[in-house]
Each structure stands twice: as C-alpha cells, then as structure tokens.
Amino acid sequence: MAKFIAQKRGISRYEGNKLNILGVETSCDETAAAVCTNGSILSNIISSQKIHQSFGGVVPELASREHERLLNSLVFQAIEEAGISLSSLEGIAVTKGPGLAGTLLAGVCFSKGLAQGLRIPVIGINHLEAHIFASFLENPNLTFPFVCLLVSGGHTQVWLINEIDNYELMGETRDDAAGEAFDKGARILGLGYPGGPEIEKLARNGNPKTIDFPKSFMKTNAIEFSFSGLKTSLLYYMDHFDESDGNISIEDVAASYQNAIIEVLIHKLKQTLEITHVKTCVIAGGVAANNQLRQKAHQMLPEISLSFPGLVYCTDNAAMVAFLGELKLKAGYTSPINFGVKPNLQLQV
Ligand code: KG4
Ligand code: ZN
C-alpha cells in the first residue's frame, strides 16, 4: 500500500504508484461518476435530474429510481472518457452520507457490486469532507491550516481544517442552510429549482440596496447563522409587492435577498478568520458557485489567501469523491464491504 504523507504544509504530494479511482456520487439529485488518478481528474460526468423541476424540490423516491436507471451508463462513460479500462481501476469511492437514504443506497449498492466483481476495495466517503477537499482540485498548493465556509443545500458551517482528519467546527446554521434559503426564496419568487442560480440570474439586473432584509447575528460575535427569518420576511414582502407601482422591480427584490445571505456569510467568515488568526480560506459547496459571493468575499477579505473550487466542483459531483477516495486509499483506509449508508452523517470533530 502506498503511504500518504500528511505534510504540515499541504497534501499535494504523496508517495506511491498512481491509483485509478472511480468516484460515485448519488447523495441527492445529481447522478455522477468520475475518475481520479494521482490527484488529476480524468473524467467527470454529471447528470442533474430534471424530473424534480415541476415539484419545486427533490422527490426522494423519484431521485433513487433515476440514479438506478443512470448509474451503469454514467460509470462506463466516465471510464471511457478517462481513457482507462475497467480492469485498471484500483478502488471505488462512493458517498455514504449525508444525504437521502434511498439515493445513497443506490450509489453504495452499485459501487459495492462493481468493487466485488473487480475484487478491489470500496471507500465510503463523507460528502461534506469531499466538498471541502474539492478546493485542492482548483488549488493544489492549498496549505493547512485553513478555514472553510461550507455552504450547500443542506449545510452552512464554518470549519477550521487543521490537517486531514483533524477538523474543528467553528459554527453553523441554527435552521435553514444558505442554499436552502436560495431555494425557498426562489420558490416564493416563482422561480425554478435549484433556486440559487435562478436568483443569481435575476439579481444581476437589480439593486441589492433596495430592501433592507433582516441579517441575523450581524451584531454579535457568535459564529452562527439563521436564514429562516429572512425567508419569512421575503414571503411577507411579496404579499404586498406590486411591480406595477414602478418603484421596485422583482430584480431589486432578488438582488436584495441575495445580498442579505451573502453579507451574513462573509461577515461570519471574517469573524472566524479573526478569531483563529488563520490567513488561508476556502469557500466550498453549491452556493460557492455564486459569482456575487465570490466577488464580495475577495473585496471584503483582501488580506486573506482565498480560493474557491472550480464551478463544476462546487455543486455535487463525483470528482471530489474520487479525489478524496484516492487520498484515503493512499492513507491505507478502506471500508468493510458491509458498511451502510448514513443519511445524517456528520463530519468527524
Ligand atoms: O453542494 P450542493 O450541490 O448540494 C448539497 O450538498 O446540498 O448544493 C446545492 C445548493 C442548492 O441549494 C442550490 O440552490 C445552491 O447550492 N446553488 C447556488 C448556486 N448554484 C447552486 N446558490 C447560489 N448561487 C448559485 N450560483
Ligand atoms: Zn453537496
């Protein structure tokens, strides 16, 4: 087994022969497969399920069936695009949680079956950890320790990442996640799902200063978030909103709402960086794809070495799963074949 060197400064180099790792991701509504070899992504296939659009959110049973329908062909497409053969795979990394029980099962059962057929190890991966480590794909020179703002559809957390397998939770949301705030806000505004990109598009032509939506915990030192009041405030605002008045446009509403989420995120991130005295920071997860968040973070954290995963590695993907799987396998870690899915899996603290 190759030996992973947990260097103090970074993870970018490790010993041993290169490994071809297949990654499989089915924690929610993206069916994804990717191949990673020696830290490089050779293929990255993602199919975002469209069947949920008319429901305004993910329907778990439909999502599981869709994964089952697509997995085989996506995995073989990933192998083909990577230019490798199935028999040259040395491990399969698959998301074991957190996520929807049924959708996780689809990916884990498929991966276990394939791994057993090929007689190679399977590695159960924590989806949150994979999001955080996706930052190394864009920035292989990223060094520990760093602060990570993890903002997705299910999580809003600030982590101090001291080293691989050494993580401290600095704060998180008390209620809705930032991505959830985007999704629920979009629903109130009559936009499609997922809501983040829809609100971002509309907000481009709006003035973010038009409406002063509530921003929780801005006046305290607590590293905590709360977005449920913001969403309710938008709901009440829209009850009385009449665009034909001519003063405020729907674009202004979207821009103000987006701005309220982003300001809180960056403010709390800044506080964490001050508390920890850490000068390196990454923002990861689906909401990290938001361009306004990226711009504002760069503006408001000029002293900080700030990086984001590439856009395709922010939202759910299997490249981040394969990448972390390779790191884990090189560190000597595999999962027993009877491991189960963990819908509420936390990141080890
Ligand atoms: O990481 P992710 O793909 O799935 C989870 O692990 O939850 O994140 C999905 C979330 C959704 O809530 C979606 O609305 C949000 O990320 N999102 C965005 C953008 N793209 C995706 N939010 C704001 N702006 C975006 N451009
Ligand atoms: Zn995710």
In the chain, the domains with their CATH numbers are 6-133+317-330 (3.30.420.40), 143-308 (3.30.420.40)
Phi first, then psi: give them for residue 24, nearest 5 degrees.
Answer: -130, 130
Say which residues have a Cβ less than 8 Å from residue 78's Cβ, sequence separation at least 6: 22, 33, 34, 35, 43, 44, 45, 318
Of 52-66, 172-186, 266-280, the range with the lowest mean pLDDT is 52-66
State pLDDT tens for residues 212-240. 999 998 889 999 999 999 999 999 999 99
In whole angstroms, what is the distance from residue 104 CA to residue 64 CA?
A: 8
120, 48 in Cβ contact below 8 A?
no
Distances (CA, A) of 155 to 1, 35, 179, 285: 34, 26, 8, 9
In whole angstroms, what is the distance from residue 157 CA to residue 150 CA?
A: 5
Q: Collapsing DSSP states into helix, strand and coil, what is residue 20?
A: strand
With the most atoms of ligand 1 within 8 angstroms of its CB, the residue from 152, 261, 295 to mutate is 152
Task: Return the ∠ at Cα 268 (arms to 265 and 272), rounded to 5°.
Answer: 135
pLDDT at position 7 is: 41
> Does 315 score more than 80 pLDDT?
yes
What share of residues in the chain are helix, strand, coil (percent, to 5)? 45, 20, 40
pLDDT at position 8 is: 39
Say which residues have a Cβ less than 8 Å from residue 160's Cβ, sequence separation at least 6: 145, 147, 167, 168, 170, 272, 276, 278
pLDDT at position 236 is: 97
With the most atoms of ligand 1 within 8 angstroms of its CB, the residue from 46, 135, 182, 201 to mutate is 182
Counting from 1 in the atom list of ligand 1, the atom nearest the Cα of 152 is 8
Beta bridge partners of 224: 172
pLDDT at position 31 is: 98
Ligand 2 geometric centre to CA of 248 (Å):
34
Least distant ligand from the CA of 30: 1
Ligand 2 geometric centre to CA of 144 (Å):
22
pLDDT at position 10 is: 52
pLDDT at position 275 is: 97
Ligand 1-lining residues (CB < 6 angstroms): 28, 152-154, 179, 182-183, 194-197, 200, 285-287, 289-290, 315-316
pLDDT at position 16 is: 56
Q: How far apart are the first and last CA of the chain?
A: 27
pLDDT at position 193 is: 87
pLDDT at position 251 is: 98
pLDDT at position 50 is: 87
% the chain with pLDDT above 70: 95
Counting from 1 in the atom list of ligand 1, the atom nearest the Cα of 177 is 12
Amino acid at 26: T
Interval 312-327 mean pLDDT = 97
In whole angstroms, what is the distance from residue 348 CA to residue 337 CA?
A: 21
pLDDT at position 57 is: 80
Interval 281-285 mean pLDDT = 98
Tokens in use for 120? 């190679």
Interval 296-309 mean pLDDT = 97
Counting from 1 in the atom list of ligand 1, the atom nearest the Cα of 186 is 14
> Does 14 score more than 70 pLDDT?
no
Distances (CA, A) of 303 to 80, 278, 313: 43, 11, 25
| Alpha helical stretches, state H, the chain | 60-82, 101-118, 127-133, 135-138, 178-188, 195-203, 228-239, 250-276, 291-300, 319-330
153, 180 in Cβ contact below 8 A?
yes
In whole angstroms, what is the distance from residue 182 CA to residue 151 CA?
A: 11
Ligand 1 geometric centre to CA of 83 (Å):
30
pLDDT at position 185 is: 97
Atom 3 of ligand 1, nearest CA residue: 315
pLDDT at position 2 is: 33
Of 42-56, 301-315, 319-333, the range with the lowest mean pLDDT is 42-56
> Does 134 score more than 60 pLDDT?
yes
Task: Return the ∠ at Cα 336 (arms to 332 and 337), rounded to 5°.
Answer: 130
| pTM for this prediction | 0.94
Atom 8 of ligand 1, nearest CA residue: 286
pLDDT at position 11 is: 57
% the chain with pLDDT above 90: 88
- Whole-number average pLDDT of the chain: 93
53, 46 in Cβ contact below 8 A?
no
Per the omega criterion (within 30 degrees of 0), is the bond before 60 cis? no
13: left (phi over 0), alpha (psi -120 to 50) or beta: beta
In whole angstroms, what is the distance from residue 193 CA to residue 195 CA?
A: 5
Ligand 2 geometric centre to CA of 162 (Å):
21
Ligand 1 geometric centre to CA of 1 (Å):
37
- Which pLDDT band, with edges at 50, 70 and 90, does 265 fall under? very high
pLDDT at position 53 is: 79
- Which pLDDT band, with edges at 50, 70 and 90, does 5 fall under? very low
Tokens in use for 282? 């990454």
Tokens in use for 234? 């938008």
Ligand 2 geometric centre to CA of 314 (Å):
8
CA dihedral in degrees (265, 268, 271, 273; nearest 10)? Answer: -50
Ligand 2 geometric centre to CA of 324 (Å):
14
Atom 19 of ligand 1, nearest CA residue: 196
State pLDDT tens for residues 55-68. 878 899 999 999 99
Per the omega criterion (within 30 degrees of 0), is the bond before 208 cis? no
Q: Of 13 and 345, which is predicted with more confidence?
A: 345
Interval 248-268 mean pLDDT = 98
With the most atoms of ligand 1 within 8 angstroms of its CB, the residue from 227, 315, 344 to mutate is 315
- Which pLDDT band, with edges at 50, 70 and 90, does 1 fall under? very low
Ligand 2 geometric centre to CA of 44 (Å):
15
